[in-house]
C-alpha cells in the first residue's frame, strides 16, 4: 500500500473504530444504569430480574475495550510523526490505563453478581468512577490538544473535548449518567474523522 493511500484510510479506520466503541460503551453504561438506577451504585443491590442487564453489559465491555484500542492506535497513526512526544506519552498512557481500569471494574462487577458483597460493589464503583473516568478525562484533554494543534480536529470540537474532559474530571463520580460523556465525545470525534476520510479521496 502506498503511503498516501495509507494516510487516506487512517481517518476512516479511526472513525469506524471510535463509532463502534462509542455505541458499545454507551450500551453497556445504559444497561448498568437500568439495573442500578440509584445515584450511588456502590450501595445499590441489583434485583434478580435485572441481573441480565449487568451480565449483558459485562459481555459488551471487552469488545468496547478492543475497539477503543483500535481507535487510539488509528488516532495516533493519523497524527503521525508530528506529535509532541510528551503529550503523546500521556495520550497513550491514559488510554491504556483507562482500558485496564474498565476491565478490572468489569471483572469486579462480575464477581459481585455471583457473590454479592459490600466490598466488591464499592471496589467496582470506585474503579469505574474515580479512576476510569479520570483517565478518560486525561485522554480527552490530550487528544483534543494534539488534534487541534495539528489541524486534525476543528476548534469547536476541540473546545467540546475540553468541556467533556472537565466534566469527567470534576463531576464524574458525583453526577449520575456522566459516564456517557466519554462515549458521546468519542462518537462526535469519530463522525468528524469519518467525514474527513470520505472527503479525502475526492479532494486528492
Q: At what angle do helices 181-203 and 133-149 cross, to 10 degrees?
A: 30
Residue-wise pLDDT for 175-204, tens only, equals 778 889 999 999 999 998 888 765 554 444
Number of helices (H) and strands (E), helices first, in the chain? Answer: 7, 0
Q: What is the pTM of this model?
A: 0.82
Residue with cell 459485562: 58
Cβ(4)–Cβ(72) below 8 Å: no
What mean pLDDT, rounded, does the chain reach?
A: 80
pLDDT of 80 higher than 90: no
d(CA 72, CA 145): 15
Give the three cell numbers for residue 45.
Answer: 443491590
pLDDT of 66 higher than 90: yes
Amino acid at each position: 500500500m502506498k503511503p498516501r493511500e495509507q494516510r487516506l484510510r487512517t481517518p476512516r479506520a479511526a472513525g469506524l473504530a471510535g463509532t463502534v466503541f462509542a455505541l458499545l460503551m454507551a450500551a453497556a453504561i445504559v444497561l448498568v444504569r437500568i439495573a442500578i438506577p440509584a445515584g450511588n451504585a456502590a450501595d445499590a443491590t441489583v434485583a434478580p430480574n435485572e441481573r441480565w442487564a449487568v451480565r449483558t453489559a459485562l459481555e459488551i465491555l471487552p469488545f468496547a475495550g478492543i475497539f477503543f484500542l483500535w481507535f487510539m492506535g488509528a488516532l495516533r497513526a493519523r497524527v503521525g510523526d508530528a506529535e509532541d512526544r510528551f503529550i503523546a506519552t500521556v495520550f497513550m498512557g491514559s488510554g491504556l490505563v483507562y482500558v485496564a481500569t474498565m476491565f478490572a471494574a468489569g471483572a469486579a462487577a462480575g464477581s459481585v453478581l455471583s457473590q454479592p458483597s459490600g466490598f466488591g460493589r464499592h471496589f467496582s464503583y470506585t474503579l469505574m468512577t474515580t479512576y476510569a473516568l479520570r483517565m478518560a478525562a486525561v485522554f480527552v484533554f490530550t487528544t483534543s490538544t494534539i488534534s487541534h494543534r495539528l489541524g486534525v480536529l476543528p476548534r469547536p470540537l476541540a473546545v467540546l473535548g475540553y468541556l467533556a474532559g472537565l466534566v469527567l474530571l470534576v463531576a464524574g463520580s458525583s453526577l449520575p449518567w456522566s459516564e456517557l460523556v466519554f462515549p458521546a465525545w468519542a462518537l462526535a470525534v469519530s463522525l468528524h474523522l469519518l467525514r474527513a476520510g470520505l472527503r479525502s479521496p475526492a479532494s486528492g
